[in-house]
Structures are given as structure tokens and as C-alpha cells.
Amino acid sequence: MRVPSFSREEELENALNRVIHLLPGEMLMRDLLRPVEGTGKDKLREVGLRTRSYREYFDAWERLHFTRDADGITRIRDDIVWYLTQLGISGNIKGENSGILSTHSIGQLIRAYETYKYFLAQFGQLLFPYTAPFAADHMSLHLQFERAGRGIVLTAGDAQAHFLMTTIHSFRQLGCTLPVEVMYLGDSDLSEDYRAELEAIGGVITRDVSQMVNDDGWKLAGWAIKPFAILLSSFREVIFIDADSAFFQNPEVLFDEPAYQKTGALFFKDRLFMPEPRKRWVQQVLPRPFSAQVKQNRFWTGESSHMQESGVVVVDKWQHFMALLLVTRMNGPDRDGEENKGTVGVYDMVYGDKETFWLGWELSGDFQYSFHGGQAGTMGLANISHTVIDGADDDIDNQDSGDLSTRSADGQKNLERHTICAPQLLHLDTNGRPLWFNGWVLDNKFADKLHQHFASFENFVLEPPAQDVPEPWKLQQDNMCCLTTVSSLRFDFSREEKETLNMIIRRAKEVEAIVV
């Protein structure tokens, strides 16, 4: 067996120098590896602090072990101990920039390296234990993504399978050629027959997340699967799309968004409603430093207790691996509290999974994320109403609010208002045209199948400035939301947009998404 030749590697030794200097002392190591205790805000903050520490140790470990071969492929090297042993045999230790080599013996370096390896494995197991045994360790899981390409990730059970048969078809009709992975939680979630139907669509495979996640002591279910589906998909760059979301444009355009290209993480805003001051809560949860974006966040400003909606999430997992790991924890073992034990879970503090994305990024110290700049609204059939304003308010004529109005003989002013009541939340692109929506194409997706009807889509309305229509959103039963806006923010769908909606509805009928 040929023994590999030995030569000094400056880059390796610099990375090793960093690792040895980072190695925590006994007291700090004990503190970092103690169980994460507490509950609610305090526990969430502590998990964030520990994740920030783990990220620093993990990044240094990867820099030491990642090496690029002649073909440009990154591999994990496992020869560090051999390298140090050969360095000792060669006797060629001293010299310029020797760093730790001038202060440590080879034996000390090997022991320090192996102590760091033990510490990092324990730290990762403490924070994110559920990725094993599916992934050997976090470094090997992370490396899977570097050259893994782009794709769409969806989640579904039997109840949503017909939605996916519709939406995936619509993606293809819109020109999207990205591969699609449908993630599910075992046979009882998405049955074999539905999996076969989905995989009959070109470029679609189904994957069982329940085999990839060790959820001993807690149960992965419901909304919580979303970040796990993103993390454990085979792609590097992911467009996650809810089963009840649909697009007017090719979803691939999201990868071209300047905000995504700048940060590698693109989120969308929820409806601007239900104002609630949560600045104090944010201050109690987020370790410092946090990003400048936090002070524009609705939780901070009090504009709304809903910042993000997770119907679409776009993420480069290679760039944001640690933040995404933390989001999975928030939707995993830390998700639910137990009232009888006096514990508070993440879902007791925020509504479902949706806020955990930007929170996970901030908690982990990863400030590279963006919220899409397009406006939000709803869609359906607009109703016109009029609001009477006293003529004594002379300033009303000077407001550039986009209102259509008339003034009566007694000086009163009638302002025209447009309202749509619908379950859909519509997102526009940055050019002001419909991009995608969630809430499906029914007038009420929560009705039983015999009472479901396809909605009529003629118009869309957008959220108005607060000074024009105070509290424009009104929440009704079954997630029905009524949005009232000014006349200048009411639009008609274009012919092409109507054709896209009709194409989606036709496909839904073909796959019997509802009884018609």
C-alpha cells in the first residue's frame, strides 16, 4: 500500500490554528454543553445564544475539513491526525507564522483537535439531535447542499394531494422546469396511490420525512414539517410552496429577485392587520446584536402581530444552514408547551411556523434575509361602497389618497371604497402585477366537498395607506378576510392573468379537487 507523500499546507495549518484557539476551556465547555433549561422567551433567547456559539465553532471546523479537489468538488478531509503525525516525523515544525506549532507539541495538538471534535459533536447533539441517524453529522449534511442545484419543495397529505396535482401542472404550464420534491410524513399521511399519481407528473418525486427526523419525545406534524422539508430536500436552493398556493408567473422568477440574490433568503409579508405592540417581547427574545431590519419589523413597530406568511419561502440552504437548523428546532422539540407543567412553547408565543423563519435567522445571528417588496391584497369580486366625510374637513381635498369622490350640496364628501371578501392572500411582483396567492381557488376551502365552489376572480384590491382606511382588514369565519381600500388600489385582472386562473381551475376539475 502506497503511503501518501507529505508536504506542508499553509491553509490547513491556519485553519487548525483557528480551531485550537477557539477550543473552549473546561468551564466554558461545561456551560455550553449543559441542558438548555427554562421556558418561553428565556429558553428561546438561550437557544439563540447557544446557536450563535455553535455556528462559530462549526464554521471553524468546516474551514479545517473542507477541501476542494482538482475537479472543484468540495470533500471532507479525514487526515488531520495523520497530517500532524507526519509533521512531527518530518521535524519541520518551526518557521515563520508557525503559530500554535511553536507553542504546542504534536501530541498536544492532536489531543486538542480530538477534544474539539468531541465537544462539537456533543454541542450539535444538544441543540439539533433530530437529524441523526439520517445524517452522520451536521457537516456532512451541510456539504450535501453545496452543488445540489435548485428545486421546488412541497408538503402534502392525502387531503392536499389534489391541490398538488393542480399546482404542479400549473407550474409546468407557466414554463417552470424545476424538479419538484413532495415531502410527507409516512404512509398514513400521503398514501401510496397518491404518491404514484404525483410521481407520474414529470420531474416529481415524493420523499418520506418521517424516516429522516428522529422525533423521540415530540411529534413532527402539521405546519411544523415546512422547515424540515426545506432542510432535508435534496436541493441547495429551494422555493418552498404551500399546497394551497398558486402562481400567476413562473415560480423560477423568485430566484432572479434582487433581494434574493443579495441575501439568499426571501420571505413574504402577511396581511397588515391585528395591531399589537410586541417590541418588548422582541427585545426580551433576541440576543444583541440583531439586524437593523428588526426595528422596521411589525412586531417592533406594533403595526401587526403578523409579520411573515410562509406560503412561499425561498432559501439558499448552503448559505443559511445554521439559521435553518434553528428554525427546525423552533418547529420541533421547542414547538409546544405543556400547561400542566408550566412550560411555554414557540407556538404559544407566535402563530404557527410562519414567524419562526425571520426569528430563526435573527436568533442565530444570520442577518442576511429580505422581505419581498411587492404589495399584498386579496382577489375576487369587488363591491363598491361610499364613506361620507363632513365637509368641514377642508384638508380632505388636499389629500392625494387616490380616492374617487363627490361633494354634495351641503358640503359633505362621499369617498368611494372597494371591498373584496375572500380567503386568498395575493402577492404582487415589484412591477405591481399579481405574482402568487395562497388560499387556493375556492370561495371556502374549509367547507365540506359538497358545499365547495370555485371562486370568481375579476378584480384584486391592495392594502391602502393607514391614513386612508383605518383597519382595512376584517377577519371573518373560516379564514375569510375582507379588505377595504381606496379606488386607486382596485384593479382588474388582465386577460393573461384570467387565463392562468382558468387554467388552474380547469386542472382542479380534471383531478377532482372538488366535487362539481
DSSP string of 185-214? Answer: SSTTTS-HHHHHHHHTSTTEEEEEGGGT--
Burial group, residue 195, by CB count within 10 angstroms (0-12, 13-18, 19+) = buried
d(CA 286, CA 62): 26
Predicted local distance difference test score (pLDDT) of residue 398: 46
Distances (CA, A) of 163 to 125, 170, 473, 482: 37, 11, 27, 24
d(CA 473, CA 469): 9
Q: Which of 326, 349, 371 is the last residue of a domain?
A: 371
Asked if residue 58 has pLDDT above 70, the reply is yes
Find the helix or strand (DSSP H, E) in which 127 lies. helix 106-127
Predicted local distance difference test score (pLDDT) of residue 413: 64
Please answer whether residues 449 and 509 qualify as being in contact, where contact means their C-beta atoms are separated by less than 8 angstroms: no
Asked if residue 409 has pLDDT above 70, the reply is no
Asked if residue 196 has pLDDT above 60, the reply is yes
Predicted local distance difference test score (pLDDT) of residue 516: 45
155 and 280 part of one domain: yes
Distances (CA, A) of 314 to 240, 256, 268, 375: 6, 11, 9, 18
Range in 78-82, 378-382, 403-407 the model is least confident about? 403-407
The residues with which 151 forms a beta bridge, in sequence order, are 238
- Segment 477-481 mean pLDDT: 87
Q: Give me the percent of the chain exceeding a pLDDT of 70.
A: 92
Short-list 153, 246, 269, CA closest to 436? 246
d(CA 277, CA 340): 28
Q: Which of 371, 401, 434 is the last residue of a domain?
A: 371
Predicted local distance difference test score (pLDDT) of residue 387: 74
286 and 214 part of one domain: yes
Domain-located, residue 307 = yes
**How far is C-alpha 418 from the geometric centre of its chain's CA atoms?**
33
- Spell out a b/e string for 343-366, using b for 16 or more CB atoms within 10 Å of the CB, else e: ebbbbebbebbbbbbbbbbbbbbb
- Segment 294-298 mean pLDDT: 97
**How far is C-alpha 339 from the geometric centre of its chain's CA atoms?**
28
Domain-located, residue 510 = no
Model confidence pLDDT, tens digit, residues 82-134: 999 999 888 766 655 567 777 889 999 999 999 999 999 999 999 999 999 89
- Segment 417-442 mean pLDDT: 97
Domain-located, residue 514 = no
Short-list 366, 327, 371, 367, CA closest to 350? 327
310 and 176 part of one domain: yes
d(CA 285, CA 40): 9
Which DSSP state fits 129?
G
100 and 164 part of one domain: no
366 and 410 part of one domain: no
> Within 10 Å of residue 381's Cβ, how many Cβ atoms?
13
198 and 273 part of one domain: yes
209 and 99 part of one domain: no
Predicted local distance difference test score (pLDDT) of residue 386: 82
Phi, psi of 461 (to 5 degrees): -125, 150
192 and 338 part of one domain: yes
Short-list 229, 35, 235, 225, CA closest to 129? 35
The grid coordinates of residue 25 equal 476551556
Domain-located, residue 508 = no
Domain-located, residue 390 = yes
310 and 251 part of one domain: yes
Asked if residue 284 has pLDDT above 80, the reply is yes
Predicted local distance difference test score (pLDDT) of residue 502: 98
| 58 half-sphere exposure, CB direction, 13 A CA radius | 26
Domain-located, residue 513 = no
Please answer whether residues 226 and 353 qualify as being in contact, where contact means their C-beta atoms are separated by less than 8 angstroms: yes
Predicted local distance difference test score (pLDDT) of residue 4: 73
Task: Report helix, strand or coil for 414.
Answer: strand
Angle at 61 between CA 55 and CA 67, to 5 degrees: 125
The pTM is what? 0.94
Q: Residue 396's pLDDT band (boundaries 50, 70, 90)?
A: very low
Q: Which of 341, 371, 401 is the last residue of a domain?
A: 371
Short-list 247, 493, 485, CA closest to 379? 493
316 and 359 part of one domain: yes
Predicted local distance difference test score (pLDDT) of residue 102: 79
d(CA 98, CA 112): 17
Please answer whether residues 213 and 225 qualify as being in contact, where contact means their C-beta atoms are separated by less than 8 angstroms: no
d(CA 310, CA 265): 12
Q: At what angle do helices 192-199 and 161-173 cross, to 10 degrees?
A: 0
Domain-located, residue 276 = yes
Model confidence pLDDT, tens digit, residues 212-244: 999 999 999 999 999 999 999 999 999 999 999
The residues with which 483 forms a beta bridge, in sequence order, are 420, 473
Q: Supply the DSSP string of 230-248, one letter for each residue.
A: HHHSS-SEEEEE-TTEEES
- Segment 264-269 mean pLDDT: 99
Predicted local distance difference test score (pLDDT) of residue 412: 55
Asked if residue 395 has pLDDT above 60, the reply is no
Where do we find the cell 423560477?
Answer: 252
The CATH number covering residue 305 comes to 3.90.550.10
Predicted local distance difference test score (pLDDT) of residue 84: 95
Predicted local distance difference test score (pLDDT) of residue 479: 82
242 and 367 part of one domain: yes
Predicted local distance difference test score (pLDDT) of residue 3: 66
- Segment 307-315 mean pLDDT: 98
Number of domains in the chain: 3
Range in 147-156, 184-193, 292-301, 464-473 the model is least confident about? 464-473
Q: Residue 153's pLDDT band (boundaries 50, 70, 90)?
A: very high
d(CA 487, CA 497): 21
Mean of pLDDT over the chain: 93
Handedness of CA 289, 281, 465, 500 (dihedral sign): positive
Q: At what angle do helices 40-65 and 356-363 cross, to 10 degrees?
A: 60
Asked if residue 80 has pLDDT above 90, the reply is yes
The domain in which residue 381 lies consists of: 376-494
34 and 93 part of one domain: yes
